[in-house]
Structures are given as C-alpha cells and as structure tokens.
Amino acid sequence: MLQLPVYLDNNATTPCDPQVVEAMLPYFTQHFGNAASRTHSYGWLAEEAVQYAREQVAALINAEREEIVFTSGATEANNLAIKGVMEMYAAKGNHIITVTTEHKAVLDTCKHAEKLGAAITYLPVNAEGLINTQQLEDTITPLTVLIAVMYANNETGVIQPVQEISRIARKHNVLFFCDAAQAAGKIPVDVQTDGIDLLSMSAHKIYGPKGIGALYVRRRNPRVRITAQIDGGGHERGMRSGTLNVPAIVGFGKAAILCQTLLPTETEHLSYLRNKLENGLLQQTDCQVNGSRLHRLPQTTNISFRHLHGQNLLLGFNKDIAVSSGSACTSASMEPSYVLQAMGVEDLLAYASIRFGVGRFTTEEEIDYTIGRVKEIVSQLMSSEI
C-alpha cells in the first residue's frame, strides 16, 4: 500500500537498511567497549569490529584497510583533507584548485583556507555541469598543492572526468582530493584505477547511520601525509583523535558491503526508476533536465519547471512528495541554486528546480504516483499564477 509522503530525497539522506541496524544493535548494549581499551575483552571486541568495518569500507573503493580514517561524516573528512594538506605541504606551496559547483563543505573550507593565506582557484563549469580539463591543467602553478573536485554533484548528479583529472594531477605532482559522498556505493569508485589520493565518504548516503564518515588517505605512490585537525589521544594513526563511534562504524561497514554486493543490480533498477520518472515529467509538464544526462548518477535527476515560482512549487509538493529544491532557503529569502547558476541556468528556472533522488526502497508505484501528482500540482499552480 502506498504511504505518503513518497520519499524521493535520497541524495540528502537514505533510510538505514534493516540489515545495517541489525548489525549495529549488539554494539550499543552487549559489545559496548571502547576500541582504544587494550587491556580487556570488551575493548578487544570493539577494536576487532572497527577493523573489520574498516576493511569493508576500504573494499568499497578498492583501498587498503590502513588507508581509511573514520570521521564524523563527509563534512569533517572534507575539512581534514583540505586543511590537512594545506598545512602539511605549506613549504611546497599554497595554491588549491577547486570548482564553483562543489559542495559547501568544500567551498566554505576553501574560503577559510583563503583567510589563512591560501590562494584558491575556482574553476567554472559548462552548461552540463562539467569542468574543462584543459583549463584545469592551465591553472596549475608551481605552488599548486591540491586539486579538489567532487566525483558526482549532490544537486545534479553530474559525474566529473575523474580519471582525466587524476592524470593531470599526477603529471604535475599535485595531490587529487575527491568528495565522493554522492558517488561511493552508487557507482563503481576505485581509488587505484581513478588515481585518487584523498577521498571522502558518508555512511548516511548509502543506507548507513548518520554521524559517521571516512577519509581515504593514500599510503603509497604517492604516500600522502596530512596534519590532524583534531588533537587528543592519537586515534586513527594520529590523523583524527576522539573515541571511535563503534556502533556507527559497524553500520558503515555493513552498509558498504551491501552496496558493493548490490551495486550491479541496484544501478540498473535505480536508472530504470529515474528514467521513468524523468520521461514521465518531461512528457506531461513544461520542464527541463539540468546537467548532463550522459555523465551522471543513476538515481538523480534535477528538473526545472518553467513559468512557476519555486517556493510555491516546493510548498505544493511537500505534503505528498518529499523532495529538495535546487534553491537554498534562508530565514529571510530564497536564493537560486549556486550550482545551477554556475551552469548558466537562468534565475527563474533555477528558483523552480527540484532534485529527485530515488533509492533502494523506492517502488515503481511511488514513481507512478509522483508523475501523476506532480502533473496535477504543476497544472494547479499554472492556473493560479496566470
């Protein structure tokens, strides 16, 4: 039976998979030890669980267990990567290259770095949301220490040419950091094939718990070093101190292995649902898809509805369909999406943009309902706004 509202905001967060919850439960009450307690069995069991989960998370991206640093989420991992590299390699240079459409966790961290003396280059994107790799290469200077480009965009799902970016980075002896919070577990991500030096992940984007993430830090070819941003106790090989969240780490590991196992069939199913939703809306409403339809995640579509006011559009949806607007709302005003603006989408369309994110538990019945309901809402709004 269809339950409302239909949840289509899986880019924002995903529900915990029941198998993940089941795996976590014993570590709240039965195996509750501190993983840093090395003198008794409670601590040993906790440490064993953490190491096993570390292997599972590493396997998702073809990394080594020792290259995974657990954090509180992708935001902290992004901060640790950018600030950690900037401090560690300050003697080499102070130049970082990133992109105008990065997540705020990267952009705001870069802005903070600027205040501390870093020089940041913000690359533009084309109408499809993709960077120009030749422009990237031309931007590199002898002082460049880091290229920070996300794997897939959180608003549009657009996938950047990661392997070409890494080739350029290696050619110029520059480290390559990739925010893969939206990509890892949803499409094949291989840090060896992709040539990535640092990579951030988040459990709650892949049917795991909130409050846990990870930073991959390459150990060889090249060996990457970063300066810790949280001190006290020397946890995570000195890169991130703090008592480990064992239940959440266990859940992250279970979520990672489930994604790795289900990836081939899940990708096909999500693409089918996304395409059905997208084609249905394109046929029945006056709208456009934002971003590349060739280079993007299988579960994401970003659609702008013409001739409508964005705030009214989202308010019309919120009782029956849980989605996100491409706009960032503040208490005083509603601003158009900076991602869509960077792609050249005009403000009126950017205001009226909706991100639809299907997920593991989305049904075809929910997609059929959404198509019909959106058509109905758009027709009502068109009539009232004429």
The reply to whether 329 belongs to the active site is yes
Catalytic member of 16, 110, 259, 329: 329
- Asked if residue 136 lies in contact with residue 147, where contact means CB atoms within 8 angstroms, the answer is yes
364-385 helix and 246-284 helix, angle to the nearest 10 degrees: 60
Half-sphere exposure at residue 312, Cβ-oriented, CA atoms within 13 angstroms: 15
- Asked if residue 96 lies in contact with residue 139, where contact means CB atoms within 8 angstroms, the answer is no
Q: What's the rounded Cα separation, in Å, for the pair 79 and 113? A: 10
In this structure, what DSSP letter does residue 320 have? T
Residue 5: cis peptide before it, omega within 30 degrees of 0: yes
Q: What's the rounded Cα separation, in Å, for the pair 379 and 385? A: 10
Q: What's the rounded Cα separation, in Å, for the pair 282 and 287? A: 6
- H runs (alpha helix) in the chain: 18-24, 26-29, 41-60, 74-88, 104-115, 133-139, 162-171, 191-194, 246-284, 310-317, 338-342, 347-351, 364-385
In this structure, what DSSP letter does residue 90 have? T
* Entry field: residues in the chain: 386
Q: How far, in Å, are 9, 149, 209, 217 from residue 19 at the CA level?
A: 21, 33, 12, 28
Q: Which value, in Å, is the radius of gyration of the alpha carbons in the chain? A: 21
Catalytic residues: 329
